[in-house]
Structure 1
Amino acid sequence: MAILSALRLTRAPGAAFVVMGLYWGVFAAHVPVFRDRLGVDDALFGTLLLGSSLGLLSTMWLAPKFDQGLGRAALPTAAALLALAWIAPSLAVAPMAFALGMVGVGMASGLLDVVMNARVSQIEARSGRSLMNANHGLFSLAYGLAALASGVTREAGLPMIAVFGGVGLLALGLMPLLSRAPAPAVAPEEGGAVRLPLWPVMLCGIVVMIAFLSEATVESWSALHIERTLGGGAAQGALGPALLGVTMTLGRFGGQGLAERLSETAVIRVAALVSATGAAIAATAPGPMVAYLGFAVTGLGISVIGPMGLALAGRMVAPHQRSQAIARVAVIAFCAFLIAPVLMGGLSEAFGLRAAFGAVAVLLLMILPPVLALRRRAAAPLAVPA
């Protein structure tokens, strides 16, 4: 099977995707616990979550030097830093301590994110195969399983720090496998400045940013919507982000096959409509069961938008510009993690979580205009800048 073959080929960096998914899945299921323990309203909690976004964006610039400096040790070191970083927010009882802890989590997540994707990219270049979707699917699978398991541990009354500690032990057990990832490639000498075609890169960045923003909002606020708006229990709340993870896993694993049959722009257009429909269902749901359907449909749609947007950016520029283009798209896209907490927190506080998820549906429809413009660009012959 192609997916299993891809995962075997990238098993070392794939283990890092598992570690990342486990931690963020546990966090998503414990969002109501964090909020109640800190004693803050939705708007302030959303602002506190900006700490992780600031940390994440700062390391997008530091990670390449970290990678080159540590070489083969960069991947296990980044995973260890992530495990250590989660200790502070999981113990914090004051809002400022939580925010500072999330800055550390964001920095460690940014380091691991850059390094693990770089390793998969290296293996792609060496093998000539497309491997990124399978690894992102592995992240979603780990995320969903962790969120589901966390719902059970919450119902059983297990302390949050114990759950994060358990994930830390799993990360420690994966260290030998992480150490087997290839060393980073040595950067060749630069042959002169190259100007990217700006607007296609920006449009791809906007598409991926909206996908990331939608994913982040459902990850962080679906449990609270089910528990507070719809009256569900802790296990029912945890099932919201868990379903997102499961359907995103299915979508990303299936995305490899779709990409071979349809164009990236066609897949993104369909995915935007599907995910917007799911967000609207979640926003108007009369009870948890209908909300589950909405979150599942949302996850299925947005799962392929990000990877397809990055692939499209690389295909619309000259071969020697692909790494640069994808890096620019990533910088734009990660701005979503700055916008999402403030957007959802403010809308929830002012109008309620139903309105907040309705806004997510509208945002997903805003993907369509830039994708139509990118479709015309993708259909035109590639113009290589001088």
Structure 2
Amino acid sequence: MRIGQDILASRGPAAAFAAMGLYWGGFAALVPDLKSQAGLTDEGFGLAMLVSTCGAVAAMWAAPVADRHLGRAAMPLLGLATALAFLSPGLATGWWGFALGMALAGAAVGCLDVVMNARLAALEVTRGRPLMNLNHGLYSFVYAGSALVTGVSREAGAAPLAVFSGLGLVTLALVVVMATSPLVQDHAARAAKAAVSAWPLVLPGGLIVMIGFLTEQAAEGWSALHLERNLGAGAAAGSMGPALLGFTMGMGRLFGQALAHRFPEPAVIRIGAGVAAVGALLAGFAPAVWVAYAGFAVLGLGASVIVPMAFAFVAARVPAPQRARAISHLSVIGYAGFFLGPPLMGFLSGLFGLGAAFGTVAVILALIPAALVGWMRRGA
């Protein structure tokens, strides 16, 4: 099968995507316990996550330099750094400890995110086949599995540190795959500096990625809390929120892999954003657990194609000498949404409740088809 061949060819970045899925899936299911362990309110949790943005953004600016100097060792070293960094929030018992721990985790995964997407973009160019949806889909499936296993572990009484330690052992095996995979160099990107500016394309593309990440992280970080607090779900049933989101995002991205051969990325992004907005409204104002499950499933299907399609669209249209730097800038802008989601949700939840917070996410998603996709196409 071509999918199997594509996974094998991109096994290095795929292992990095899987490592990120492990930790974010586990983290999403652990949010209620992490908040309780650190003694955080909704607003305090959101603010602590905002602090971690600084580490992530700083690391992303430095990621191309680290990639250039570390070469083959970049992804495995960053995978190890991620495993170590996530032990910190697992140990945290106060606001400062949790905020600093998440800053370290944000720096590690932020740098890894840029490097693995840059490697994947080079592979797409070399092989002439779309790979973004497939690898982002792998992330989603691993995320879903990690959230489910973490939920069962929580139900059995496992503490956050024990869960993160277990995920670290799995990550060690993934690091071996990263270290032994072939390194594909985009030689054209190193030949010269491009004379044109990529910002007219990168800026709107980055904003689309930012909203996509904001949507994902808002649902990942607050779905379990919404189900448990507002709809009376238990720990295992609450973990089904992020797990269902991850599973449907994985399915949507596999479907997006096929769509990428037949339809232009902007059209798919528009439809995906509209579907995700409907899902956010359904989940936020659900009268019962099963309705919220349906909302998170619809949200996952729609949001699944936003980020990988935007990455693919930009990477294919930026001149080769600027590709790695453009992906770094795209990630810096986009990754802000990955950490702005929880603070936004925390602030709105504290004032108006989680239902209104998810409704706000739906309004933000509407900006993609209304304005940003057209801006990105003009920039291209």
Aligned AA (1:63): A
1:214 and 2:215 are equivalent in the alignment: yes
Q: Go from structure 1 to structure 2 and tell me whether the alpha carbon gap of 1:314 and 1:64 turns closer, same or farther (over 3 Å shift).
A: closer
Shift of 1:261: 1.5
TM-score by length of 2: 0.94
SS at the partner of 1:185?
coil
CA distance in structure 2 between the partners assigned to 1:197 and 1:89 by the alignment? 37
Contact 1:205–1:333 under 8 Å retained in 2: yes
CA distance in structure 1 between the partners assigned to 2:304 and 2:279 by the alignment? 12
Shift of 1:264: 1.3
SS at the partner of 2:180?
coil
Task: Tell me the residue number matched to 2:249.
Answer: 248
Task: Tell me the residue number matched to 1:63.
Answer: 63
1:78-97 matches, within 5 Å, as 78-97=78-97
Deviations along 1:116-173, one digit per CA (max 9) or x if unpaired, are 2222223223322221211111111110000011111111112222211111111112
Aligned AA (2:144): G
Aligned AA (1:288): V
1:277 and 2:274 are equivalent in the alignment: no
Task: Tell me the residue number matched to 1:129.
Answer: 129
Equivalent residue pairs, number: 379
Deviations along 1:191-243, one digit per CA (max 9) or x if unpaired, are 45623254443222222211111111001011100001111111111000001
Task: Tell me the residue number matched to 2:157.
Answer: 157
Aligned AA (1:170): V
The unaligned stretches of length 5 or more in structure 1 are none
CA distance in structure 1 between the partners assigned to 2:322 and 2:49 by the alignment? 34
Task: Tell me the residue number matched to 1:10.
Answer: 10
Task: Tell me the residue number matched to 1:48.
Answer: 48
Shift of 1:113: 1.3
Task: Tell me the residue number matched to 2:74.
Answer: 74
CA distance in structure 2 between the partners assigned to 1:94 and 1:299 by the alignment? 32
Shift of 1:376: 6.0
Larger Rg: 1
Q: Go from structure 1 to structure 2 and tell me whether the alpha carbon gap of 1:4 and 1:88 turns closer, same or farther (over 3 Å shift).
A: same
Contact 1:316–1:377 under 8 Å retained in 2: no
Task: Tell me the residue number matched to 1:331.
Answer: 332
1:101-140 matches, within 5 Å, as 101-140=101-140
Aligned AA (2:202): V
Cα RMSD, aligned residues only: 2.0
Contact 1:147–1:238 under 8 Å retained in 2: yes
1:138-287 matches, within 5 Å, as 138-183=138-183, 185=185, 191=192, 194-196=195-197, 198-287=199-288
Contact 2:281–2:358 under 8 Å retained in 1: yes
Shift of 1:111: 2.1
CA distance in structure 1 between the partners assigned to 2:307 and 2:15 by the alignment? 21
Task: Tell me the residue number matched to 1:349.
Answer: 350
Shift of 1:373: 2.1
CA distance in structure 2 between the partners assigned to 1:189 and 1:74 by the alignment? 17
TM-score by length of 1: 0.92
Shift of 1:284: 1.0
Aligned AA (1:312): F
